[in-house]
Amino acid sequence: MKAIVLGGTAGMGRAIARRLAERGDEVFLMGRDAGDLARSAADLEARQAKNGRVGYAVCDLEKTDGFAAALDEADRALGGFDTVVVTAAMFATQEALEADVELTRRLLTVNYTNTVVFCEHARKRLLERGGGRLTVFSSVAGDRGRKPVALYGSSKAGLSHYLESLDHKFHAKGLTVLCVKPGFVKTGMTAGLKPPPFAGEPDDVAKDVVRAMVARKPLLYTPAIWALVMLVIRWLPRFVMRRIGF
């Protein structure tokens, strides 16, 4: 694969970029901070299975006017990419979002509108060259309306809907769309939150994601137990959901 990883300097994105590099895939990093990108690129160069420079470009999901230029740079560095992985997103607790309308606007814009805009840029380029892989992180938080993640979850619900629609529409044209729905994973994004007994680790999630990408699956719950957890949650009656805090 010739893969772009947006969000590849931290957490699950960094773990996926490392695994791809160790497999021998070519990787191009995107993120908000040039210093983090440079350090992460150097780390990948030391890990990759074959020698070569790891390219990178600043790409901030809050700044849509930079998307095309960053993708142009990736095309030049990789000689044409065939895989795009998007792990970047915003997170805030329900309490913080309810207290700050501007924070809510930013999170909803980044997690849905601007992520979709970035994916549309990537989708058009991939289809122009016959297809490829588009892997995007949504969340189990989008599977059902729930008290603790009402606002964050709504952004991920919209994103999941979009990704499933892309899979239906463009699969026959060679575009493989993988919607990743992680449960609780121990990353900087979840620091300070109490992890459940089956919380995941970034490296384990990365292993699951790369395996699903290679198999060209359309949907992945990771850690796997979240598929069962959310199956139960989706079928709970509304009166039960009103009473519980999950």
Which contiguous run of DSSP H or E holds residue 157?
helix 150-170
Residue 191 reports pLDDT greater than 60: no
Does residue 233 sit in helix, strand or coil? helix
Cβ proximity of 200 and 222 under 8 Å: yes
180 beta partners: 137, 220
pLDDT digits (tens, 9 = 90+) for 71-95: 999 999 999 999 999 999 999 999 9
**Cis (ω within 30 of 0) for the bond into 223?**
yes
Q: What residues have CB less than 8 Å from 223, skipping those under 6 apart? A: 182, 183, 185, 198, 199, 200, 204, 205, 208
Rounded average pLDDT over 143-163: 97
State if pTM tops 0.85: yes
CB 132 within 8 A of CB 84: yes
| pLDDT of 44 | 92
Q: Which residue ranges form the domains of the chain, and what is each CATH number?
A: 2-243 (3.40.50.720)
pLDDT(217) > 90: yes
